[in-house]
A and B are shown apart, each in its own frame.
Chain A
Amino acid sequence: MLAMWVPELPFQLACGRDGALRDRPLAFLNPESPRSPSLWFVNRLGRAEGLGPGLPLDQALRIAPGLRVLEPSPQVWWEAQGSLGDFLQHWTPQGQLMRMGEALVELQGTQRIYGPLADTAQRMRRELTERHGWASHGGLSLSATAAQLAAHVEHQLELVADGAEATFLAPQPLRRLPDLAPRLQERFHRLGLRFFGDLQPVPLVVLAELVHPKLAPDLRARVRGEDRPRLPLLTERPGHARHGWRLQPPRLPEEVALAARCLEWLWSDPRHPRKLVLRWWDVDGEPHTWRAAPGDLTTPPLALARRLQQAFLAGATRRLLVREVELRLAWGLGRERGLFQDPLDARLDRLEPALARLRKRFPDQAILPGWVGRGA
């Protein structure tokens, strides 16, 4: 498993656009508080000068007069993250994009195509630099946690040999364990467990008393470098789509033209939705979810879009503006594909263009895929 880590991707993108930004403290402005400007992200040089996220801008400029403050461009960052995903897809179908500039891919099984894994990882790094100009680091290990932490060591390519995962992880501070809840971290700290090595010998029974019993085996595997997760496919195409819409400025629910936008999203893909989930976030960050009923999914796109709008208005009763809307769709015909495709899925995939043509031809009618038709 290879973890790829492009450190400070947003800053690398900015430096790529403007070479004068290299080797100086940089920070992005926080878009949430335009009235009292403060810093959002700070690069390493900035942090070395004592700056940090949340610092008021005027104070930051007093501390570091050479600071360059940049306007944030999340859209560009997300596109870059998407490019990283596309790039990785050329090498392997299985993988997962993590935080900004971070990805985990499965290289096992590619040896016959690309040769030894370490060479492949090096080539991938080189090619990423050549194609996008991004400096990156890699961590190669059978364990996902070890690979991730190895990438963060930033030794260009860090290899963790098979069986040496636990040894590699042992001196790492526990706070580096991805997704460790602060409450748990505090509890481990109180018990004198501050490094991976401290937690590794703790028996599962004891661990089950300290964390939720269902989570204990996974946690134990992760700290011992024994986690071998089956990564999903990097490609979104077979089955899932996610459409985000950040509202600038935040609006009242009535002012969000969701029906039109939703119709556009539904129309952009000729397939039929199998699952539709609408999520939205208030300006204070509280998330809300609405799921379409199976009956709604069989309605034509226009009716479905209207239904979605109604459900949104009925559900958005908090007296707050809406900041972000996201539509998650699972498409009807395409299923999630494993590394080895199911012949049934392949046949259904072949039907897709025909179904798309039919939907374009009869836009006001529900064109049902076979599996829905049988149930109905």
Chain B
Amino acid sequence: MFALGISDFSLGEGVYPARQLLSLARSLGYRDLVCWDRGLAGYPKLRDTLEWIHKSRELEGLLPDPQWAGFRLHLGCRFSWRGHTYGALPFSDAGYAALNRLLTAQAHADHDPPIVLPGLGEAEPPGDCVLLADDLPGLDALLREGLYGALLAHPRRAQEARKALAAGLEVIAPQVLRFRTAEGLEMHRLKRAIDQQATLIRTEARWDASEAAVLRADWEARFPFCDPAVAKATAGVLERIAGWRIHWGKWEVARPFGQEAGEDDSHLNVLLRERVWSGVRARFPVLRGDILARMEQELELIAFKGFARYFLLVQDIVLALSREGLPTRICGRGSGAASLVSYALHLSNVDPVDTNLMFERFLTKERKDPPDMDIDFAWDERDRVIQAVFERYGRARVAMVSNHAYFKAKGALRAVAQAHGRPDSELKQLARLVRGWEGGLERASENPAWDVILRQALALKGHFHQFSVHPGGTIVTPGPLWEHAAFQPAPAKESVSTTTWDKDGVENYGLVKIDLLGNRSLAVIRDAYHVLGSRVPRDPGTHSRHDPATQDLLKRGDSIGVFYVESPATRQLQQRVGKGDFETLVIHSSLIRPAAYRWVDRYVKRSRGEEAWEPSDPVFSELLSESFGVLVYQEDVLKVCVALAGWSHFEADQLRKLLGKPDCEAKLPFFEARFRSGAATRGVRPSTVDEAWDMIRTFTGYSFCKPHSASYAQVSFESAWIKTHHPAVFFASVITNQGGYYPAIAYLGDARRHRLVVRGPDANQSLWPFSAEGEQAVRVGLMQVKGAQEKEVRGLLAEREVKGPFAHLDDLLGRVKLSVPTAEALCAAGAFDLWAPDGDRTRLMWARLGGVPPGVRPRPTDLFDRADLEMETMGLTLDLHPAALARVRKGGGPDRAAEVLKPNKHLRFWALVVADKDVATEKGERMQFITFEDETGLCEAVAFPDALRRRQRPFRVGEIVCISGRATRQDGLAVLEVQ
């Protein structure tokens, strides 16, 4: 017999995450479990967890667990129809598709306003499914429509079951696994409170205490199971659903638009070959043998895996858009950039042969999960790109991939505390404690009111929380998407649908996704090239890579604003290594990972020749010579696993995928055991194995493959070339596109250090964005002025465009109707300063009010007032650095940031915090890396836990602080130790 399991994917209801639910079913004596959530969102997770149970034994080299042998998971779900609750258990592909259709139709019909998808039809109970009605009226409604269903018996409604049996209707009685213990019921109530956004005290449980799960034997001894008709019907249902298996793992890729006809893909293979050939001829002036061999090898493999349609589909999307002037610029990244085929199709920008990129990272014969391509678009074009894909392929065939958000410590605490009615102030304090500030969680548990909150939050951690939308994952299916998966309108996105499965669910099923992502630096480069026009070299990618001045800039670590290498950590690494070539940058952009800091030091020493690198195993010298024995890319993990532990490429790829997952910590020990046993079998020395595994562990969290790093390094080089040769255009573009690592004021500070003049906003000169004035000046754009209404400012710009510049302020106010707040904000920001050479903005402000009234003698604005006004309205200053202003106002801080270059000097100075990064020490204490700025320059600093404890709060970007500390030299770099 079987059980129906409700998991945490039943929002506001289900208590158990996948692993617990499976264990519960097994411990109660069941071998068949049906997923019984509302919708099918939780099925892939349950399936994946069950597979992992078997896989973990295999990794340990043990025989399959007899407890789990023969345990089967079946697909099913609950739904509502005409006010009644039903369940459906499909027993054929058609039934599964009909169920998806129903769920999709209901989700779109419930949307406000309702959405009608062509071909989807009405929400009707699915055929080819066992339909179970929750109660007799529901069953009655089904039968009246001519649909066949059975009654799902409930112990508390035995009378109803008897009635149904007497009427000759089918009754089945599998146990529904809701919860097991009193804590489980309390968790159910908590989840309902969270879902309904109510307090716990007001929330009634939907379930009864008597509905707790019991042992299978106990359940089967109860009515109505002891009735032979019920037992027979239940067994019959199991037999029917067990005969069908959802087809899982077969790749589903749509053909490109206009190429849908045809039985097989042979014509697509031919088409791809033709296009690749012409692309290769265009990309490579000389067709070398290795290029042709690589092309043949890739095309052969692509044909073998039936993946030609995917490449053509992606190309079709990009080409179709470029015909409409979109996208202006793309960057193929991720493992897809390792392919010569994508390079030839202009889907990526890095030559994989020249850069030595492994195609195996993207596609191999053994690969079971479908690979995907990531394509970056300029951030402001991405939404239009996604919209265009929906329009081209139809909303019935396209969906974005959803994200499944699980409760983490902070979110769980917040949700539980809200359910207990605790206020925001307490939540903030709790959040600080959770992050380890102010005594950490130990201190939180001292408060008896928080004790129960902490306990429940701990239990809630890891449970499913909510759906969101993947930043760019999009799938296109050959036929209607509901044949494969249910989908729903995306939250807060018009005209877009999302799958109910997340990335892993979609991939494991076999749906191949394309990541269409937004990238601000592409917009920076686009805008800059637009301004530069003919000054841009013909092949900017190659030109910038070989430009000595650009390499020198990167070598100096002078890369604030440069894509991907502007963080203090990367800039310092560049300075320490002292190289600015493309290959080094590719390594560095991959090496800067949170967990890899110990290996970074070794890499630096070895690259500078200060530490002799003696490979502990010959394998290292073969595989890792370019990075001096340090694992840098994901491919290195694959290579080392294959070479040291004798794994297959597929097995190694499993580990690579796991390293980026949130449940990595729980699963990694199994892989470690297998790695060690594999290496021991091959006679590798234990110290070598330790070293290799230690490096592999640094890939947890996030890591990159080489093609990804190379693609990004390419963008970095183009970006750096603009900074080197046209800094004014560069800084204008970087600040206009916002979203960089630093605030605008820090970029302007860097612009000044590049000998640029920063000019304030000007009603006659400024545009909406920041702009370059010649090669030596940056003009602040009116977009930066807070408090000025965009519509009015754009009206002002349009008026100036049409009728020419304004002669004087009265002329401006006569031609453009500005409200008092807008005029005040523009004036405070200095946009009218050209009409006040003495810098008195007060007098200008009165102009909007008809001039200074007789008898009124307003105080004129001085230098300090102007700095204040600029900070208030623009978040930056033009003449006086905020740190200098604070020094004048508050006193103290006689030193300057630039003096950090004098080792061992004790410094005390005022500074603006322009970057902060929290990290945890090995003991779990908090420390910070901070970048300070004053008018003399930047100062990198570190605040150790003691200093932070004394300060009681972290440093945050935008604060102006008086710092005292000691200047130190760390590996040749000046670093301030905050005291």
Is there contact, CB below 8 Å, between B860 and A59? Answer: no
User: Smallest Cβ distance from B820 to chain A, in angstroms?
Assistant: 6
Cα separation A36 to B861 with both chains bound (whole Å): 42
Contacts of B864 in A (CB 8 A): none
Q: Are A321 and B422 in contact (CB under 8 A)?
A: yes
Q: Is the CB of B429 within 8 A of A206?
A: no
At the interface, yes or no: B952 with Cβ under 8 Å from chain A?
Answer: yes
Stretch at the interface among B573-581, B851-859, B967-975: B851-859
Q: Does B824 contact A (CB under 8 A)?
A: yes
Instruction: Give chain A interface residues in 179-232, CB to chain B under 8 Å.
Output: 186-187, 190-194, 198, 201-203, 206, 209-210
Chain B residues lying within 8 Å of A23, measured Cβ to Cβ, are none
- Cα–Cα, bound, A250→B424 (Å): 13
Contact yes or no, B858 A198, CB < 8 A: yes
- Is B849 touching A210 in the complex (CB atoms < 8 A)? yes
A32 at interface by CB-CB < 8 Å:
yes
- For B421, the chain A residues whose CB sits under 8 A away are 252, 319-321
Known contacts A191-B842, A319-B197; A209/B820 CB under 8 A? yes
Name B190-218 residues within 8 Å CB distance of A. 197-199, 201-202
Enumerate chain A residues within 8 angstroms of B18, measured Cβ to Cβ: none
| B304 CB to nearest chain A CB (Å) | 57
Kindly report which residue of chain B lies nearest to residue A282, judged by CB atoms. B423
Alpha-carbon distance A284/B425, docked complex (angstroms): 7
* Option from A191, A254, A282 in Cβ contact (under 8 Å) with B845: A191
Complex Cα–Cα for A201 and B846 (A) = 14
Do B820 and A210 touch across chains, with their CB atoms under 8 A apart?
A: yes
Give CA–CA (A317, B196) in the complex, Å.
Answer: 11
Say whether B687 faces chain A, with CB atoms less than 8 Å apart: no
Q: Is the CB of B423 within 8 A of A320?
A: yes
Distance between Cα atoms of A284 and B422 in the complex (Å): 9
Nearest residue in B to A56 (C-beta to C-beta)?
B952
Interface residues of B in 132-156 (CB under 8 A from A): none
Interface residues on B, range: 35 or more
CA distance in complex: A36, B418 (Å): 21
| Residue A283, interface by CB 8 Å | yes
Residues of A within 8 A of B869 (CB): 190
Query: Is B745 in contact with chain A by the CB < 8 A criterion?
Result: no
B555 → A minimal CB distance (Å):
45
Asked if B900 is at the interface of the complex by the 8 Å CB criterion, the answer is: no
Q: Which residues of A contact B853 (CB under 8 A)?
A: 201-203, 206
Q: Which of B202, B425, B438, B860 sits near A32, CB closer than 8 Å?
A: B425
In this complex, the member of B423, B443, B859 whose beta carbon has the largest number of chain A beta carbons within 10 angstroms is B423
Residues of B close to A187: CB separation below 8 A: 824
Partner of B846 from the list A56, A191, A317 (CB cut-off 8 Å) is A191
A201 touches B423 (CB 8 A): no
Instruction: Determine the chain B residues whose CB is within 8 A of the CB of A191 once the complex forms.
Output: 842, 845-846, 858
The answer, yes or no, to whether B828 is at the interface (CB within 8 Å) is: yes
A314 and B855 CA atoms in complex are apart in Å by 57
Q: How far is the CB of B674 from chain A (nearest CB, A)?
A: 47
State in angstroms the CA–CA spacing of A322 and B315 once bound together: 60
* A35 surroundings in chain B (CB, below 8 A): 429, 443, 447
B844-881 at interface with A (beta carbon < 8 Å): 845-846, 849-850, 853-861, 869, 872
Chain A contacts for B859, CB-based, 8 A: 192-194, 198
**Structural contact, A284 and B423, CB atoms closer than 8 A:** yes
CB distance from A318 to the nearest CB of B (A): 8
Identify A283's interface contact among B423, B845, B846, B872, CB under 8 A. Answer: B423
User: What 1/0 mask marks residues of chain B from 417 to 436 whose CB sits below 8 Å from any chain A CB?
Assistant: 01101111110010000000
- Shortest B40–chain A CB gap in Å is 31
The residue in chain B whose Cβ has the minimal distance to the Cβ of A201 is B855
The A contact surface, by secondary structure, is loop
- Give the most central of A190, A250, A282, A321: most B CB within 10 Å: A190
Task: Give the chain A neighbours of B856 by CB distance below 8 A.
Answer: 193, 198, 201-202
Q: Please state if B845 and A190 are interface contacts (CB–CB under 8 Å).
A: yes
Inside 8 A of B199's CB, which chain A residues have their CB?
252, 319
A192 touches B423 (CB 8 A): no
Docked Cα-Cα span, A252 to B443, in Å, equals 24
Q: How far is B858's CA from A190's CA once the two chains are assembled, in angstroms?
A: 9
Q: Is the CB of B201 within 8 A of A254?
A: yes
User: Across the two chains, which residue of chain A brings its CB closest to B199?
Assistant: A319
B849–A209 touching, CB < 8 Å: yes
User: Considering the complex, which residues of chain A in the window 305-341 have a beta carbon less than 8 Å from any beta carbon of chain B?
Assistant: 317, 319-321
Distance, CA A283 to CA B422, complexed state (A): 8
Report B824 CB to chain A, min CB distance, Å: 6
Nearest residue (CB) in A for B846 is: A191
Verify A201–B854 contact, CB threshold 8 A.
yes
In the bound assembly, the distance between CA atoms of A148 and B396 in angstroms comes to 72
Rounded to whole angstroms, the CA-CA distance of A203 and B850 in the bound complex is: 11
Distance (Å) between the CB of A34 and the closest chain B CB?
9
A191 to B823, CA, bound (A): 12
CB-contacts of A28-66 with B (<8 A): 32-33, 35-36, 56, 59
Bound complex: CA A249 to CA B854 (Å): 58
Cα A191 to Cα B857 with chains together (Å)? 10
Q: Assuming the A-B contacts A210-B820, A254-B202, are A198 and B422 also in contact, with contact meaning beta carbons closer than 8 angstroms in the complex?
A: no
Least CB distance, A178 to chain B, in whole angstroms: 22
Chain B nearest CB, measured from A185 CB (Å): 13
Most buried by A among B198, B201, B856, B872: B856
Q: CB-CB < 8 A to A192: which residues of B?
A: 842, 845, 858-861
CA of A319 to CA of B199 in the docked complex: distance in angstroms? 6
CB distance from A225 to the nearest CB of B (A): 16
Indicate if the CB atoms of B858 and A283 lie closer than 8 Å: no
Contact residues in A for B198 (Cβ distance below 8 Å): 317, 319
In the bound complex, residues from chain A placing their C-beta under 8 Å from that of B861 are 192
Q: In the complex, A190 Cα to B843 Cα: how many Å?
A: 10
Residues of B within 8 A of A56 (CB): 952
Which positions 83-120 of chain B face chain A at CB distance < 8 Å?
Answer: none
Q: A192-B860, A203-B853, A254-B201 are in contact. Are A319 and B418 (CB under 8 A)?
A: yes
Q: Which listed residue, B429, B828, B854, touches A36 by the CB 8 Å rule?
A: B429
Chain B residue at minimal CB-CB distance from A205: B850
Docked CA distance A283–B857 (Å): 46
From B198, which residue of chain A is reached at the shortest CB distance? Answer: A319
Per the bound structure, the CA–CA distance linking A202 and B856 in Å amounts to 7
Query: What does the 1/0 interface line of A154-186 toward B look like (CB < 8 Å)?
Result: 000000000000000000000000000000001
Chain B, residue nearest A197 (CB): B857
List the B side residues contacting A202 at CB < 8 Å.
Answer: 853, 856
Q: In the complex the two chains form, what is the Cα distance from A321 to B449 in whole Å?
A: 12
- Which chain B residues border A254 with CB–CB below 8 Å? 201-202
In the assembled complex, the CB of B446 is this many whole angstroms from the nearest CB of chain A, namely: 8
When C-beta atoms are compared, the residue in chain B nearest to A318 turns out to be B421
Residues of A within 8 A of B860 (CB): 192
**Most chain A CB atoms below 10 A, which of B201, B841, B858, B872:** B858
B952 and A193 form a contact (CB under 8 A)? no
Complex: A255 Cα to B429 Cα, angstroms: 24
Question: Which residues in B have their C-beta under 8 angstroms from that of A284?
Answer: 423-425
Name the residue of chain A whose CB is nearest to the CB of B821: A187
By a beta-carbon cutoff of 8 Å, the part of chain B in contact with chain A is: 197-199, 201-202, 418-419, 421-426, 429, 438, 443, 447, 449, 820, 824, 827-828, 841-842, 845-846, 849-850, 853-861, 869, 872, 952
Nearest 7 CB-CB pairings of A with B: A192-B858, A201-B855, A283-B423, A192-B842, A192-B859, A284-B423, A284-B424
25 contacts between A and B (CB under 8 A): A33-B429, A35-B447, A36-B438, A190-B869, A191-B842, A192-B842, A192-B858, A192-B859, A192-B860, A193-B858, A198-B857, A201-B854, A202-B853, A203-B853, A206-B849, A206-B853, A210-B820, A249-B449, A252-B199, A252-B421, A255-B201, A283-B422, A319-B419, A320-B421, A320-B423
Apart from A36-B438, A190-B841, what 14 extra A-B contacts exist at CB < 8 Å?
A35-B447, A56-B952, A190-B869, A192-B845, A192-B861, A193-B858, A198-B859, A206-B853, A209-B849, A250-B423, A282-B423, A283-B423, A320-B423, A321-B422
Chain A contact residues, CB within 8 Å of chain B: 32-33, 35-36, 56, 59, 186-187, 190-194, 198, 201-203, 206, 209-210, 249-250, 252, 254-255, 282-284, 317, 319-321
